[in-house]
Structure 1
Amino acid sequence: MTRVPGWLLRHRIAIEPYLGDSAYGPRYGDRVENVPALVVAVRKQVRDAEGREVLATAQIIAGPELECPPGSRITLPDGRTATAISTARHTAPGLPVPASVEVMCE
């Protein structure tokens, strides 16, 4: 299986993976800096983990190794902090299609 080519991932983002809620609010893992990605400004209705329709304002495409569960904090290339709404892993074993991860953010 091939992966999305690195030369397409022109932006760099930082991710703080969501670990869950605690008595003091949401918990996040260690910040991962300089993650290669392709970031696109969008305005698209998507469903969150609870099934509610929300407006996504950024779409991120990254390599298949990206770990970014819904609820993660993402610092976009323009400095804006976004929250991951949904994560989709795209694979096509046996086909000449690159594997990638797509993250929709609000």
Structure 2
Amino acid sequence: MRAPTWLMPHRITIEPYIGESAVGEVYGPPGDPLPALVSETVRTVRDRTGREVTSTAQIITAPGLDCPPQSRITLPTGRVTTALHIAPHTAPGLPVPQSMEVFCE
């Protein structure tokens, strides 16, 4: 069961992180706006290296999101942030919705 889109009133745009080049970070083209539930609150989380960092926005989306850590995300307010950690929420065999949670700088 997927999280219903009516629970995701916001729209975000993601530029997926591809890697490093001689001139800096490389991103893919921005995708179409995606439905999401955005909460711009401050929380302490761990990044992909295990270091404690401060997340200033948390995003819930449908499962299967293509958003590698360090991807650029444009929030509904227009603020551009960076993905720190992506957590899938699944419960195989249970009647609860599946989703992805993205923690942002």
Q: Normalising to structure 1: TM-score of the pair?
A: 0.95
Alignment correspondent of 1:37 = 36
- Paired with 1:105 and 1:22, the residues of 2 have a C-alpha distance of 23
| Runs (4+) off by over 2 Å | none
Number of equivalenced pairs: 105
Counterparts of 1:49 and 1:94, CA distance in 2: 28
Q: CA RMSD in A?
A: 0.8
Whichever residue aligns with residue 104 of structure 1, its letter is F
Distance 1:20 1:87 in 2: 17
> d(CA) in 1 for partners of 2:51 and 2:24?
21
Partner of 2:101: 102
Q: What TM-score results when the alignment is normalised by the length of structure 2?
A: 0.96
Q: Which has the higher strand share?
A: 1
Runs (5+) with no aligned partner, structure 1: none
Identity %: 60
The residue that corresponds to 1:57 in the other structure is 56
> Which sections of structure 2, spanning at least 5 residues, go unmatched?
none
Q: CA deviation at 1:20?
A: 1.2
